[in-house]
Structure 1
Amino acid sequence: MNHPATGIDTTRFVELNDGAHPVRIEYQWLNAERTDAPIALFLHEGLGSIALWKGWPQMLCDRLDCRGLVYSRPGYGRSTPRRREERWPVEFLHRQAHDVLPALLDALGIGAEERSRMWLIGHSDGGTIALLYASAFPEALAGLAIMAPHVFVETMTVEGIEKARSTYETTSFRDKLAAYHDDVDSAFYGWNDAWLNPEFMHWNITEEIATIVRPLLAIQGYDDEYASMLQLDAVETAVPHTRLVKLTQCRHSPHRDAADAVNDAIAAFMASHRT
Structure 2
Amino acid sequence: MPAAVPEPPPLTTDDFRLPLDDFELQVRRFGLPGPASGPTLVLLHDSLGSVALWRDLGAQLALATGRPVLAYDRRGYGQSSSFGPAPRTSRYLEEEAETVNRVLAACGLAQAVLFGHSDGGTLALLAAALEPARIAACVTIGAHVFVEDVTLAGIREAQRQYQTTNLPQKLARYHGANTDAVFRAWTETWLAPSFRTWNIERYLPAVACPVLVLQGSNDEYGTAAQVEAIARQTTGPATARLLPGRGHSPHREDPGLVVQLTADFLNSNWSVLGQEPGLG
The structural deviation recorded for 1:259 is 1.9
AA aligned to 2:142 is A
Equivalent residue for 1:253? Answer: 249
Q: TM-score with structure 1 length normalisation?
A: 0.90
Equivalent residue for 1:15? Answer: 19
Equivalent residue for 2:200? Answer: 205
Counterpart check, 1:159 vs 2:158: no
The structural deviation recorded for 1:41 is 0.4
Q: Return the alpha-carbon distance in structure 2 between the equivalents of residues 179 and 172 of structure 1.
A: 12
Query: Contact 2:32–2:62 at 8 Å: present in 1 too?
Result: no
Query: Contact 1:9–1:32 at 8 Å: present in 2 too?
Result: no
Q: TM-score with structure 2 length normalisation?
A: 0.88
Q: Return the alpha-carbon distance in structure 2 between the equivalents of residues 250 and 231 of structure 1.
A: 15
AA aligned to 2:169 is D
Equivalent residue for 1:270? Answer: 266
Q: Return the alpha-carbon distance in structure 1 between the equivalents of residues 263 and 32 of structure 2.
A: 20
Counterpart check, 1:244 vs 2:244: no
AA aligned to 1:235 is I
Matches within 5 A, 1:64-213: 64-83=65-84, 86-98=86-98, 100-110=99-109, 112=110, 115=111, 118-182=112-176, 183-213=178-208
Q: Which runs of 5+ in 1 are unaligned?
A: none
Higher alpha-carbon Rg: 2
Q: Return the alpha-carbon distance in structure 1 between the equivalents of residues 57 and 101 of structure 2.
A: 24
AA aligned to 1:102 is N
Q: For 1:45, what is the secondary structure of its paired residue?
A: coil
The structural deviation recorded for 1:235 is 0.8
Query: Contact 2:27–2:71 at 8 Å: present in 1 too?
Result: yes
Query: Contact 2:10–2:33 at 8 Å: present in 1 too?
Result: no
Q: Return the alpha-carbon distance in structure 1 between the equivalents of residues 210 and 14 of structure 2.
A: 31
Equivalent residue for 1:59? Answer: 60
The structural deviation recorded for 1:109 is 2.6
Q: Percent identity?
A: 32
Query: Contact 1:130–1:146 at 8 Å: present in 2 too?
Result: yes
Q: For 2:201, what is the secondary structure of its paired residue?
A: coil
Q: How many residues align?
A: 260
Q: Return the alpha-carbon distance in structure 2 between the equivalents of residues 250 and 131 of structure 1.
A: 22
Q: For 1:207, what is the secondary structure of its paired residue?
A: helix
The structural deviation recorded for 1:213 is 0.8
AA aligned to 2:88 is W
Structure 1 residues 92 and 259: alpha-carbon distance in aligned structure 2, compared to 1, 3 A threshold: same
Q: Return the alpha-carbon distance in structure 2 between the equivalents of residues 265 and 9 of structure 1.
A: 24
Structure 1 residues 8 and 88: alpha-carbon distance in aligned structure 2, compared to 1, 3 A threshold: farther
Q: Return the alpha-carbon distance in structure 2 between the equivalents of residues 123 and 90 of structure 1.
A: 19
The structural deviation recorded for 1:142 is 1.3
